[in-house]
Amino acid sequence: MSLLVTGSIGIDTVMTPLGKSENCIGGSAVYFAMAASFFSPVRFVGVVGSDCPFDLTKVFSGRDVDLSGLEVRPGSRTFRWKGSYQGDMSQAITDAMELNVLSERPPIVPEHFRDSEYVFLANTHPSLQMQLLDQLKKPKFVVADTMNCWIDGQADELKKLLQRIDALILNDGEAKMLTKCDNLALAAQELVKMGPKAVIIKKGSHGSISLDRDGNWFVLGAYPTAHLKDPTGAGDAFAGALMGYLASADRTDAKYLKTAIAYGTVTASFVIEGFSMSSIASVSRSVIDKRFNEMKAMTEF
């Protein structure tokens, strides 16, 4: 089934206790598309400025990623993010951010993308997410991401978005912030009441929990890796593998959502083992499946 992602393409500078990566490729749509492409063809919608140093056709060379929704906007500058991590690298510290082209109008969804059935609205202003959703005909399964700045400053718009999507992915701090519940189980229940059929709460190195409208819970730990170098993009890769699997199966019931979360978990574990795209771009689906089977064996009892 057709899978569309719309989100950011960025120029990142990242510093962790293990090193620094300057002016590397980043952005939610890039990490999502890379992870999703292991499972399903991807339709990519995004915008960069004329200063973008990256050739995305080379980034996605050999992968089924349709870049006809990529807009290069003359006279605009590409989104930039500078961040750092300390200690266990559980939280990113934003040292500098330039929205640049992301503060302008959203990209236009090409006509031949508008029949997309599976859609991921990567993190951006909720009103822009709704504008992008308005361009689509009749999507079957829409998932959105968000972040603390929108929860803090655009809560009303975000709640309108929640009425229009099938699932929400966010981290534990964001879930508590949006619901004003310190207990994650209660937070998940409150989020489902806000509109989405399912909610997936990421807990970083502690894995994730999910709940759907029918009361189906799923709790899964993170894949244990001792080679953490850079967590940037792990959450977007998690969403990419999750959505890629669902689109390939064309099923979104509880059983398939659990498997999708597991695939998201193990795919994200590759991202954190290298700076930027270096690790995830070098693996194969068979390597992901091997880690998936290891994860399954670890969690059976």
The per-residue pLDDT for 282 is 93
The per-residue pLDDT for 1 is 76
Judged by DSSP in three states, 23 sits in strand
Poorest-pLDDT segment among 59-63, 191-195, 224-228, 257-261: 224-228
CATH of domain 3-299: 3.40.1190.20
Residue extents of the structural domains in the chain: 3-299
Residue 144 has pLDDT above 80, yes or no: yes
Better-scored residue on pLDDT, 146 or 201: 201
CA distances from 13 to 5, 23, 29, 143 (A): 23, 5, 17, 28
Residues 195-200, mean pLDDT to the nearest whole number: 96
Residue 149 has pLDDT above 80, yes or no: no
The per-residue pLDDT for 87 is 86
Query: Across the strands, what pairs with 212?
Result: 198
Rounded Cα gap, residues 264 and 280, in angstroms: 12
Residue 212 has pLDDT above 90, yes or no: yes
pLDDT, one tens digit per residue, over 78-125 is 999 999 999 888 888 889 989 899 889 889 999 999 999 999 998 888
Q: Are the beta carbons of 177 and 151 closer than 8 angstroms?
A: yes
